[in-house]
């Protein structure tokens, strides 16, 4: 059974589910169908493109900029997680977990319990 068929210039999507969808799932499917109706396919070979750089090629720099552009408040400084201190030392796993939770501020102290 085909998920899609080409008719003229458009594509008809044929989704078949094993069960009836819940209302919220139907809403999500409707949103997906609206997105799929705007998709345009072209003849030719498939290629990989990285949307966050001008050259459409992946770079660590473009990934870093994209990650931090959305999730970081520009007024706060970047805090680098000390991976080598936490994970790369030859110390017992319990101590590693303690260091990790301490760095993240998750130790259950009186301040954190309140």
Can you tell me which residue has the tokens 């796993």?
Answer: 93
Same-domain pairing of 73 and 87:
no
Regions of the chain where pLDDT drops below 50: none
3-state secondary structure of 64: helix
Q: How many domains does the chain have?
A: 3
Q: Do the domain assignments include residue 63? A: yes
Residue partners of 49: CB distance under 8 A and separation at least 6: 56
Q: Which domain holds residue 21?
A: 4-37
Same-domain pairing of 72 and 87:
no
Q: Do the domain assignments include residue 105? A: yes
The token pair at 10 is 């458009």
Determine the number of helices (DSSP H) and then strands (DSSP E) in the chain.
5, 2
Provide the pLDDT for residue 30.
Answer: 92
59 with 65: CB under 8 angstroms? no
Provide the pLDDT for residue 111.
Answer: 66
């Amino acid at each position: 059974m085909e998920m899609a068929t080409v008719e003229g210039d458009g594509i008809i999507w044929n989704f078949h589910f094993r069960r009836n969808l819940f209302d919220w799932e139907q809403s999500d499917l409707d949103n997906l169908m609206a997105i799929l109706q705007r998709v345009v396919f072209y003849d030719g070979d498939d290629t990989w493109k990285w949307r966050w750089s001008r050259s459409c090629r992946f770079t660590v720099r473009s990934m870093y900029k994209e990650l931090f552009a959305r999730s970081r408040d520009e007024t706060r400084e970047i805090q680098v997680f000390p991976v080598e201190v936490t994970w790369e030392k030859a110390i017992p796993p319990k101590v590693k977990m303690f260091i990790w939770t301490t760095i993240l501020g998750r130790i259950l102290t009186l301040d954190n319990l309140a």
